[in-house]
Amino acid sequence: MSAQFITSVVTLVVIAKLIMVSCAYLILLERKVAAWTQDRIGPNRVGLSFGVLPIRHHCWGAGQPLADGIKLFLKEDYTPPGVDRGLFLLAPVIVVVPAMLGWAVIPWGGYLGWGDSVLHVTAAPIHIGVIYMLAIGSLAVYGVVLGGYASNNKYSFLGGLRATAQMLSYEIPQGLCVLTVILMHGSARADMLVNFQANAVWNAVYQPVLAVIFFTCILAECNRAPFDLAEAEQELVGGYHTEYSSMKWALFFMGEYMHMITGAAFFTLLFLGGWDLPLLSEPLVGGIALVLLKTGVFIGKVALLLFLMIWIRWTLPRFRFDQLMRLAWRGLIPITLLVMLMTGVMVFLQQPAWVALVGNGLIALLAVWLGPRIPQGAAINRRVPLPGSRFCPPKPVNPTS
């Protein structure tokens, strides 16, 4: 067994366990932040004593996730009649698995010096790291689509359709952002991208527009508010997971949080310098203590981003669907293309990086200036006389024919 193999396995196991547990606490955090935003207290009843242990303090509701978990396990797992059973079972799995696969290439703790060799503190240090993340991310949409389809429910179906269109649309600017970062650094290796940022300055500083767009895309990719139209309860009951219950529903629920974590880690890796902190980046390769410190820095950044995501969810209202599409196709994609073009020209001319900042600023100004001036086209919510729609009721069938 090579040392790298052992490192990979250890990283994988530790990180996977850590994220699984933190998923549960992320839900608690979500409820807490929601409560703070709405000037409530939030869940604070379930402590850690569970009626058995001698802990008298309420522990700020720290036992809530465990109680939730037990509740979900004990709920009736109801499969409605008329569903496509295989796909109905498969869908929640497909939601969760791509999110977990994404953790494999994230360089959590930089490099571990072990004797003579340098080991990657990554489960799978592969060449195409960030492209792999994109590839895996593009599979997640199947869970939502198939869940919506298999449920045999119109609301679920609509939710699935919405989610498909949304995820496909936002994958494009996301991919373009990743390409721009690769273009800047000339490498698609996750660890190299972090190294470059550690040696210079984080990408978010030089490409703020790109960073904001990428963050938006992550929100859209994990169907978080303000992009949670696929499960908009006012319109679609529960969207694609209306018909799910018990642990299958819990998988959808956890999948969302896992996607958040994966997305936040992806963002940290691309734009926030990964494990880099200004004073910490000097020894590139270190012992276990340094690796743990760096992992802590990485996870801290991820946690901050997660908090930001939750904050956004409880602050911003939901988009309307046509606004959502317009944002992607008329806003994000052209802007990202412009940034990419600018970066390409810069790299070709070997310009210093501050030019990128200037370019980003100019592009942002251009977008702000041009945005209101682009003709909006026809009204979206006009009547569509499709046969069979409520604007064009079906003709009465001739009984003789």
Partner 1 sequence: MAISCTQPWWSARSPIGFLDPSRERHYSLALIGLDPIHPLQHKAAPVPTLAQLMTADPAQQGAPLLFYACATLTCLSAWAIVFSQNIVRMSVYLLLTLMGAAGFYLMLQAEFLAAVQLIVYAGGTLILIVFGIMLTNKNPEMQLRATPMELGLGALVGVGLAALLILALVHTPTPGQGFTAVPADYQQVRAIGRSLLSENLVPFELAAVLLLVVMVGAAYMARRRAG
Partner 2 sequence: MNLASETRWEDLWGDLWMVMPEVWLVVAMCAVVLAPFIKRRSVALPLGVASAGLMLAVMAALSSFASADAMGTVFTGSLVIDPFSQFFKVLLTLFTLMILGLWILHSRSQTDPADAPDFLCLLLGAAVGMSLMVSATNLLVIFIATETASMPSYALAGFRKRRREGSEGSLKYVLFGSVSSAIMLYGMSLVYGAAGTLSIYGIAAQAAAGISPLMAIGLAAMLAGFAFKLSAVPMHFWCPDVFQGAPIEVTTFLSVASKGAAMCMLLRALAAFAAAAPANGYLFVGIGVAVGILGAVTATWGNLVALHQTNIKRLLAYSSISHAGYMLMAASVAVIAGRSWEGGQHQTGAIQVVVGAVLFYIVVYAFMNLGAFTAATLLAMHTGTEDIRGYAGLSRRSPWLAALMTACLLSLFGMPGLGGFWGKVFLMKSMALAGGAGFALIAVLLFNTLISLYYYLKPVYYMYFVPDEDERPAFLPAGGGLAMLVICVSVLLATGLLPNRIESLARGYATLYPNPVITAPPPLETTVSLLESAPAHD
Which residues inside 180-199 make contact with partner 1, applying CB under 8 A? 182, 184-189, 191-192, 195-197, 199
Residue closer to partner 2, measured from CB, 81 or 115: 115
Residue 3 lies near partner 2 (rule: CB under 8 A): yes
Contact 136, 149 (CB under 8 A): no
Report the distance separating Cα 284 and Cα 221, nearest Å: 33
Positions 14 through 43 that interact with partner 1 (CB under 8 A)? none
> Is there a contact between 178 and 130 (Cβ–Cβ < 8 Å)?
yes
Q: Residue 286 phi/psi, 5° resolution?
A: -145, -175
Q: In whole angstroms, how close is the CB of 57 to partner 1 at the nearest point?
A: 47
Query: Does the footprint of partner 2 cover residue 4 (CB under 8 A)?
Result: yes
User: Which long-range CB contacts under 8 A does 26-33 form with residues at least 24 apart?
Assistant: 26/257, 26/260, 26/261, 26/306, 27/65, 27/68, 27/253, 27/257, 28/61, 28/62, 28/64, 28/65, 29/306, 29/307, 29/310, 30/310, 30/313, 31/64, 32/60, 32/61, 33/307, 33/310, 33/311, 33/314
Specify whether the CB–CB gap between 191 and 129 falls below 8 A. yes
The entry of partner 2, partner 1, none near residue 37 (CB within 5 to 8 angstroms by kind) is none
* Cβ–Cβ under 8 Å, residues 114 and 210: no
Stretch that binds partner 2, among 3-11, 85-93, 193-201, 206-214 (CB under 8 A): 3-11
Measured from the CB atom, the residue of 7 and 203 that comes closer to partner 2 is 7
CB-nearer residue toward partner 2: 3 or 48 = 3
Q: Which of 50, 80, 117, 362 binds partner 2 (CB under 8 A)?
A: 117
Considering the complex, what minimum distance in angstroms separates the CB of residue 322 from partner 1?
Answer: 16
Please state, in angstroms and rounded to a whole number, the distance separating the CA atoms of residues 309 and 231.
17
Question: Looking at 213-221, 295-303, 342-350, 369-377, which segment touches partner 1 (CB under 8 A)?
Answer: 342-350
Which residue number, 4 or 44, has a Cβ lying nearer to partner 2?
Answer: 4
1 belongs to the binding site for partner 1 (CB under 8 A): yes
| One character per residue 88-107, x = contact with partner 1 (rule: CB under 8 A) | --x-----------------
- For partner 2, the binding residues (CB under 8 A) are 2-5, 117
